[in-house]
């Protein structure tokens, strides 16, 4: 297989599996939590943390395991991803996110085609998405190479609870989750503001990394 196609396949499949983990565990958690949203969020969090670790470990050597257009944009800006690959990466991630949502619906015998009605909006949630994404990029850029997977997973697990938005931190995740009217969904009209906040957060994470330059990672 052509090397670029192999990377795009890894980004599509990895993002699809990530969204299947996030949405599928949300459906399962909500069904088992008997109306207790805290318990449902805890189950959703644990599945996401464990899922991220194996997905980054499996797909990282192939494509970098971005699964996230904001991460791909920062890597392109840093010269670690050719700009000509940025849009193919992004398309693979977006399609993967929708594929993961549909896969979750199939596994739980739900209608495959649906749109979320869950409203997530307001300045608090937008600030939270900027903070969550800035922290994610900071972890990716500064973590020792052999610990990126574990530290990204740990950070996202924490951010599920310390941010008011439950830390999407990923434009592809926001895009995919609007196609699922379940626990993890987001109404389509709320997605643009989330995505704008996430890209602002990614830029902020890069700026903080540069201000701290001289530590574990350079660039």
- Parse the chain into domains and list their residue ranges: 3-211
pLDDT computed for residue 159 by the predictor: 98
Give a three-class secondary structure readout of the chain.
Answer: CCHHHHHHHHHHHHHHHHHHHHHHHHHHHHHHCCCCHHHHHHHHHHHHHHHHHHHHHHHHHHHCCCCCHHHHHHHHHCCCCCHHHHHHHHHHHHHHHHHHHHHHHHHCCCCCCCCCCCCCCCHHHHHHHHHHHHHHHHHHHHCCHHHHHHHHHHHHHHHHHHCCCCCCCCHHHHHHHCCCCCCCCCCHHHHHHHHHHHHHHHHHHHHHHHHCCCCCCCC
pLDDT computed for residue 191 by the predictor: 98
pLDDT computed for residue 11 by the predictor: 98
pLDDT, averaged across the chain: 96
- Tell me which CATH code domain 3-211 carries: 1.20.1080.10
State mean pLDDT over 106-133: 98
Report whether pLDDT(3) > 80: yes
Report whether pLDDT(215) > 70: no
178-192 per-position pLDDT tens digit: 999 999 999 999 999
Structure pTM? 0.94
pLDDT computed for residue 213 by the predictor: 87
State mean pLDDT over 129-149: 96
154-178 per-position pLDDT tens digit: 999 999 999 999 999 999 999 999 9
State mean pLDDT over 71-97: 98
């Amino acid at each position: 297989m052509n090397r670029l196609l192999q990377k795009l396949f890894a980004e599509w499949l990895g993002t699809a599996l990530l969204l299947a983990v996030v949405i599928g565990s949300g459906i399962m958690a909500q069904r088992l939590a008997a109306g207790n949203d805290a318990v449902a969020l805890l189950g959703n969090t644990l599945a996401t943390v464990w899922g991220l670790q194996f997905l980054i470990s499996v797909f990282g050597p192939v494509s970098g395991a971005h699964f996230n257009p904001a991460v791909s944009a920062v890597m392109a800006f840093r010269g670690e991803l050719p700009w000509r690959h940025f849009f193919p990466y992004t398309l693979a991630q977006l399609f993967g996110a929708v594929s993961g949502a549909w896969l979750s619906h199939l596994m739980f015998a739900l209608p495959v085609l649906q749109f979320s009605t869950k409203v997530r909006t307001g300045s608090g949630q937008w600030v939270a998405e900027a903070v969550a994404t800035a922290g994610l990029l900071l972890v990716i850029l500064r973590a020792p190479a052999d610990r990126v997977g574990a530290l990204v997973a740990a950070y996202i697990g924490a951010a599920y609870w310390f941010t008011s938005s439950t830390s999407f931190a990923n434009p592809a995740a926001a895009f995919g989750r609007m196609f699922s009217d379940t626990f993890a969904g987001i109404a389509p009209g709320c997605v643009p503001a989330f995505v704008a906040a996430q890209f602002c957060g990614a830029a902020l994470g890069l700026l903080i990394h540069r201000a701290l330059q001289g530590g574990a990672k350079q660039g």
